[in-house]
Amino acid sequence: MNKQDNHWVGRDVERVDGLEKVTGAARYTGDLAFSHLLHAAVLRSPHPHARIKHIDLEPARKVPGVKAVVCGRDYPYHVGIYLKDQTVFATDRVRYVGDPVAAVAAETPEAAWEAVAQIRVDYEPLEPVFDVEQGIAPDSPLVHPDLGQYECEPWITPKANSNICNHLKIQKGDYQGALKSCAHVFENTFRVPQVQHVPMEPHISVARVDLAGKVEVHTSAQSPFTVRHLLSHCFKLNHGDVRVIVPTVGGGFGGKAGINLEPIAVALAMKTHGRPVRVLVDRSEEFYAVVVRQGLTATLVTGVDKQGKVQAQKMHYLWDCGGYGGYGVNVVRAAGYTCGGAYEFPNVEGDSIGVYTNRPIGSAYRGFGMQEIHWALENQMDMVAHGISMDPVEFRLLNCLGPGKSTVTGQVLDDCAGRVDKCIIKVAEELELDKPTDKGTGRMVRGRGMACAVKAPAMPNDAASAVILKFCEDATVEVSISGTDIGQGLRTVAAQYAAEGLNLPMEKVRVHNEPDTHLSPYDWQTVASRQTWATGNAILRATEMCKQQLFDMAAEVFEVPAEELELGNLEVLHLESGRSIPLERLVLGYQFEDGHCIGGPVAAHASYVPEGLLFLDPITSQSDKPVAKWTFGAQAVDILVDKETGHLDVERVVACYDVGRVVNPSMAKGQTYGGIAQGLGTAVMEELILDRKTGRIANANLMDYKIPTTMDMPSEIDAHFIETPQCDGPLGARGVGEHTMIPTPAAIANALYDALGIRIDEMPITPTKIRQAIKDKAGK
């Protein structure tokens, strides 16, 4: 191990010890009383790209209090949700600064970190790949030389002997032919950096393996059943021998959607003879040691006719997937089949390409690639509108999707699809975009702009959600669900659907939402803004099953057809005769006066799986129904810019989304406000800055990596909703959790152009970039 490596480990030990003086007394407290908790420390790579020549673990094993030391040769198993390209610990090479190389479990955090400092690793540095343009070049160093041997889903298409981990192509109509006949053609390139999720609670996992080899994991995750499935596959275990429990999660935003620290915790627990092991990252490690949002370089070509109708559209996306693409490859895919955004393009050529680099791992993030592609597309649409001297609102209305129009995959939208045109009209009216902007004449200049948004749930065709409903003796209904409530209000929505389906007051509903793969009903994942839609549908199905049980018993008692009965006032009612039976007399079965009984405890298990979904064509990606639903929306912003400093204030945001049906007005508005805050952060301040000499993240702390505070929020936010019922939605609803942050950055960029006539093509929109753009414009 060279001096640079020692310095890296020493710095970690000093930093972590400093933290442990504050947090070292903390112990895991969950539903299961873990005793004799062991503390883990992880040795992470100091190099962005290097070959591992030798690892010596013996000095670490001699440190007092150490109970287990493991590395890649102990567990050469692959893991990944869509592409299994990562091992529990790096085996042959490391692929980003922070890549796990070895780990220690010890009696105290101090002992664990002391042992980590004793591990000796002989690295052979390799040329790193830091940019997607470099990574896609034919002569680029290979981040994964064995890419062609990895297991992956059939709809993920890695390219062997390259850095391409997935490539989705879109071909609709005749792009080349249409482009030749266009009156105007515009080509521009836009960039989005990697950013961090910054959840309130960093990643943490606790694992225990009992003497029979059964695994129990308590973890901060969005998808307990997916974690169980991936752990079972990785360690060659039966699913029934792996139990995953998810307590209250302190924020996820997609960063806890797949699998993260859990394999490390399990690997150590397999060596500690029944003692639980806790693995966690501190706030600094959260910025690089776990997943981040992918970066994007997007080149768009738009051809329009003399009337302003887009006739040819090309999208070329290069996604920075970082060192591993296990989850991120599906972001690449989703961006491909949504590359047209909220617009109808008759002739399309699209390429969405995931590229390995030696940066942190790119993965799911709220919006699942949609904010990134909308940054490019909505800037482009604005530039085209101005380029042909057409009002940007009119241009969007002329080209947007709607009933009877087709997406880039050829799906023709029906009357149940959302109405982006109504969202555009609403935000334009509220901000009076039909009137000229009063920009002012002094140092402070005002501008207004807008952007559209669309997102479909990126999920397999068989993504299921299941629920269990059962009545208590007092006619309270208990609802058991496994979706993870990460702040979106799932428990409240579940209670609303149960109360609505059974015509019960809300106080008679109890929702149990402590996901436990041994005890809870199955749920695929809490991602894709799907819980209201999927779990809501499952709950309504279960309420119908419970109602039928109640009606069947009451029909026998009343000697009337079950179809004549209703629920109300905590009774089963037969309105024609005026008779009723309290639910309390039915929920455990009905006993007649002579003592004989009918029925039994009223309960139901129900599930929901998307209906009618079809695979994309493997060549053109055309499909009549590749996704379950589309949620459309739009935002308009009013900004104030200081021409001297470049400081930008967003003073007002108007948002409108077609949610099908507003299930809970307060929570729908809350999602909108939160999404705008997160969208504002990525728009004007958030960016992971890479030290290109070392490959390390230079701003891995909350002093240098800024996120919005209350001081940065707009003084006025207006949230509006259109209700075009979703045909297969629960009471017409569709998801809106992620969509609210998608258009914010592009709307701000378009408002900046309105204010100063300058265009920022790379997020974030910082004062430095604004000042430089003003200077460049003056020079021209």
Q: What is the DSSP string of 132-169?
A: HHHHTSTTSPPS-TTGGGS-B-TT----TTSSEEEEEE
Residue 465 pairs in a beta bridge with: 523, 608
Copy the structure tokens of residue 250.
């302190």
Task: Output the pLDDT for position 22.
Answer: 25
**pLDDT tens column, 437-495:** 999 889 999 999 999 999 999 999 999 999 999 999 999 999 999 999 998 999 999 99
Instruction: State the average pLDDT for the chain.
Output: 94
CA atoms within a 13 Å half-sphere pointing along the CA-CB vector of 423 = 35
Angle between helices 490-502 and 531-558 (to 10 degrees): 30
Q: How far apart are CA 216 and CA 210, in angstroms?
A: 8
**pLDDT tens column, 680-736:** 999 999 999 999 999 999 999 999 999 999 999 999 999 999 999 999 999 999 999
For 433, list phi and psi in degrees, rounded to 5. Answer: -70, -10
Give the dihedral sign, CA 696/700/704/710: positive
Q: What is the DSSP letter of 211?
A: T
548's enclosing H/E stretch is: helix 531-558
Task: Output the pLDDT for position 34.
Answer: 57
Q: How far apart are CA 488 and CA 498, in angstroms?
A: 18
Q: Are 258 and 326 in contact (CB under 8 A)?
A: yes
**pLDDT tens column, 395-443:** 999 999 999 999 999 999 999 999 999 999 999 999 999 999 999 889 9
Which of 110, 100, 121, 104 is CA-nearest to residue 13?
110
Predicted TM-score (pTM) above 0.85:
yes
Cis-peptide into 730, omega within 30 deg: no
**pLDDT tens column, 278-335:** 999 999 999 999 999 999 999 999 999 999 999 999 999 999 999 999 899 999 999 9
Q: What percent of the chain has pLDDT over 90?
A: 94
Phi-psi region at 3: left, alpha or beta (left = phi > 0; alpha = psi -120 to 50): alpha
Copy the structure tokens of residue 632.
């459309």
Task: Output the pLDDT for position 4.
Answer: 32
CA of residue 119 relative to chain centroid, distance: 36
Copy the structure tokens of residue 387.
């380029």
Which of 452, 490, 259, 306 is CA-nearest to residue 373?
452
184: pLDDT confidence band, cut at 50, 70 and 90? very high
